[in-house]
């Protein structure tokens, strides 16, 4: 399945790909970021820096 949207208590989340096989269920997230990404796996938000501009983005691990 591709581009699956799930409802959550705090809104929705989108999953790029879900593969179901007899060996298990695999969730695949694909990203195409540019610039510098400042991230901590435990934080819910990450920071992307492109030149002098900063952008906040959700942690794709969560």
**Domains of the chain: which residue ranges?**
1-30, 33-62
User: 55 pLDDT exceeds 80?
Assistant: yes
In this prediction, residues 4-12 reach a mean pLDDT of 92
Q: For residues 49 and 6, give the distance between their C-alpha atoms in angstroms, rounded to a whole number.
A: 29
User: 32 pLDDT exceeds 90?
Assistant: no
- pLDDT recorded at residue 49: 96
Place of tokens 């906040």: 56
Which position has the higher pLDDT, 60 or 51?
51
Helix residue ranges, H only, 1-62: none
């Amino acid at each position: 399945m591709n581009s699956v949207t799930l409802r959550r208590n705090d809104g929705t989340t989108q999953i790029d790909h879900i593969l179901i096989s007899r060996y298990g269920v695999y969730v695949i997230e694909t990203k195409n970021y540019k610039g510098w990404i400042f991230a901590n796996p435990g934080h819910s938000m990450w920071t992307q820096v492109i030149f002098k501009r900063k952008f906040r983005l959700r942690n794709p691990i969560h």
